[in-house]
Structure 1
Amino acid sequence: MATTEQLSTRIESTLGRALSRAGKPGAPPKLAEAMRYAVFPGGARVRPSLCLAVASSCGDDQPALADAAGAAIELLHCASLVHDDLPCFDDAPTRRGKPSVHRAYGEPLAVLAGDALIVLAFETLAERILDHPARAAHLMRIVAGSVGMPFGIVAGQAWESEDDAILADYQRAKTGSLFAAATEAGAVAAGGDSQLWRVVGERLGEAYQVADDIQDVTGDEAVLGKPTGVDATYARPNAVAQHGLAGATRHLKQLVTDAVDAVPPCAGQAMLQQMILQQSQRFEPPPNAPAAGRSAAHPA
């Protein structure tokens, strides 16, 4: 199985090549800048790392296809953050420790940057169709399903406008969908069975959303690099509000355990399980965290 450093190099190289197309001569330079600003420097790149790790565990016989799938998922994630931060949603002034895209470039360019990143994600996948048409077609369906209706991240965003949002449905769509796509896409890119890997992504995605809910209540904005208390401000579903801090923390740990246990037998099973455990340690709340003001690492 490839090392973390090798996976990171592949991800950043593929993202860099994709964004370079947006900045070609004759293209609107400010929009190209806004797109690059939204993607670099990145967060933990958890979703594409998971995609490539699964591909590696399944043999990784088409690495360029796996790279494209991982990059597409990360571009969609970045696009969702740009749109999530807009004044019509969270009106967040910061993201990843710097001004959010609409604060740095204005609302019109932020909307367009998010839209363009979505299109770029599918262009990145489409470029690899000739490598393996059947797998690429399957990847298109998986990735498209993770962003649209009825259960993708667009649906997750829409739950925030519903009067009676169900926490599990909200979390499955807003965060779980891209994680499930990451594990499924990694398997498909390498010729594996996507259904064997879906539950790993679903459990891990829900864990990340619960962690984000905990951080929204207990985190330190200066450390997270984004505003806290957003869920309470907008009366959105939140695991801490529903289960309490202790209950949400127990649920988070159980979800990580479930994700680890769900990794199917494969050449890289042990290493992938260890990777999930190491990643999860980054966002577990500190012991005896109070209701607000404590720092934690941001999982995005």
Structure 2
Amino acid sequence: MDVVMRIEQTLDGALSEAEGAGAPPGLAAAMRHAVFPGGARIRPRLCLAVARACGAEDFSAAAATAASIELLHCASLVHDDLPCFDDAPVRRGKPSVHRAFGEPLAVLAGDALIVLAFETLARHAAACPERLATLLLCVGRSVGMPFGIVAGQAWESEPRVDLARYHRAKTGALFAAATVGGAAAAGVESAPWRCLGEKIGEAFQVADDIRDVAGDPDELGKPVGRDAALGRMSAARELGIDGALDRLDLLIGEAAESIPRCPGAAELRALIRLEAQRFLPKELVRVAA
């Protein structure tokens, strides 16, 4: 089955479980609005790519892990867009959840998606009980304290913070969960895969900072210039566009070289370099390549 199709089917199945008889219809609609249509699904695709590179034959645990990570990512976007944080009116080219459904339902939709992520992982990875505890711990650590996406969001409220530490928590944590989780789902030692996820996550955040300065809001499906407007830390603001592009090149190179020995290492390395070109506005790709 096509990777993207498998991800979409797993996500749709998870939302359908949440929309069962007796569910509050407004909340159910807000949750689906947050997940579909999706973005690039970079994190779940990375999770499945790592599982494949590690030689996985049964992808049920990997697909469950990938879907849980994407649900957590969607939840983080719902909360990130709230008036108390970014107050973003648009996400993925349509009204953000709090603009479409109101702030109370947006808060609850984000909360419910977090719970649904763990329900989905537990339900679909139950066929591999010997791996389930490792997967739950891997995904849980990527969300909470001290180094998960909640911690990353909290750093924005601190007076001073190291940019790399902020990026590692806010963005790198879910990418690390994708690589570690993909390896764990394939039944191989997962710890060596953390560096790859952290490097890709930091690279993605640097690229996102560049897009916030030089991107097209219609192409991105969200407003630009938010980092400057909110006085938020940004690689593009700290290093300049050229410096941020150099940093992105360095991180992608380090990510490719950090791939542990595995049957599909060469294919995964090529995929990472190809995906990196999608991170940037088209007019900057030739500069960063």
Name the TM tier (shorter chain). over 0.9
Give CA-to-partner distance per residue, 1:22-76, whole Å, 9 cap, x none: 1111111111111111001100000000001111111224411111100000000
- Structure 1 position 159 matched with structure 2 position 155: yes
Match for residue 277 of structure 2 among 259, 281, 290? 281
* Equivalent-residue separation in structure 2 for 1:54 and 1:229 (angstroms): 34
Structure 1 position 54 matched with structure 2 position 50: yes
Aligned partner of 1:56: which letter?
Answer: R
1:54-106 per-position Cα deviation (integer Å, ceiling 9, x unaligned)? 11111224411111100000000000000000000000000011100111111
Shift of 1:138: 0.3
Cα distance in 2, alignment partners of residues 223 and 288 from structure 1 = 14
In the alignment, structure 1 residue 272 sits paired with structure 2 residue 268: yes
Match of residue 119 from structure 2: 123
**Residue 230 in 1 paired to residue 236 in 2?**
no
Deviation at 1:224, TM superposition (A): 1.2
Give the equivalent residue in structure 1 for 2:175: 179
Counterparts of 1:62 and 1:223, CA distance in 2? 36
Give the distance between the partners of 2:135 and 2:284, measured in 1 at CA.
43
- For residues 284 and 221 of structure 1, what CA distance do their matches in structure 2 show? 13
1:12 and 1:47 mapped to 2: Cα distance?
A: 13
Q: Which runs of 5+ in 2 are unaligned?
A: none
Q: What does 1:190-209 align with in structure 2 at a 5 Å threshold? A: 190-209=186-205
Task: Give the CA deviation at 1:217.
Answer: 1.1
Q: TM-score, normalised by structure 2?
A: 0.95
Using the size of structure 1 for normalisation, the TM-score is 0.92
Aligned: 1:30 with 2:30: no
* Structure 2 counterpart of 1:66, from 58, 62, 65: 62
Provide the C-alpha distance between the structure 1 equivalents of 2:167 and 2:147, rounded to a whole number of angstroms.
Answer: 10
Counterpart of 1:258 (choices 254, 266, 270) is 254
Seen in structure 2, the aligned counterparts of structure 1 residues 129 and 44 have a Cα distance that, compared at 3 Å, is: closer
1-side partners of 2:262 and 2:202: how far apart? 23
Whether the 8 Å CA contact 1:129–1:137 is kept in 2: the answer is no
- Using a 3 Å threshold, how does the CA distance of structure 1 residues 240 and 123 change in structure 2: closer, same or farther? same
Question: Secondary structure at the residue paired with 2:16?
Answer: helix
Match of 1:13 among 9, 14, 18: 9
Kindly provide the amino acid, as one letter, of the partner of residue 181 in structure 2.
A
- Specify the code of the residue in structure 2 equivalent to 1:76: L
Aligned partner letter, 2:74: C
Q: Which residue of 2 aligns with 1:149?
A: 145
> Aligned partners of 2:44, 2:61: CA distance in 1, in Å?
12
Q: Structure 1: which 5+ residue stretches go unaligned?
A: 290-300
**In 2: Cα distance, 1:40 partner to 1:216 partner:** 23
Displacement of 1:166 after TM fit? Answer: 1.4
CA contact (8 A) 1:167 1:239 kept: yes
CA distance in 1 between counterparts of 2:173 and 2:129 reads: 24
1:268 CA displacement: 1.4
Cα deviation, residue 197, structure 1: 1.0
Q: Does 1:78 align with 2:92?
A: no
Q: Compared with structure 1, are the counterparts of its residues 264 and 246 closer, same or farther at alpha carbon in structure 2 (3 Å cutoff)?
A: same
Q: CA deviation at 1:284?
A: 3.0
Contact 2:60/2:125, CA 8 A, preserved across alignment: no
Q: Is the 8 A contact 2:180 2:193 kept in 1?
A: yes
Distance in 2, Cα, partners of 1:277 & 1:95: 26
**Aligned-partner residue type, residue 37 of structure 1:** H
**Counterpart amino acid of 1:284?**
L
Q: Does 1:106 align with 2:107?
A: no
Q: Alpha carbon RMSD of aligned pairs, Å?
A: 1.4
SS at 1:247 equivalent: helix
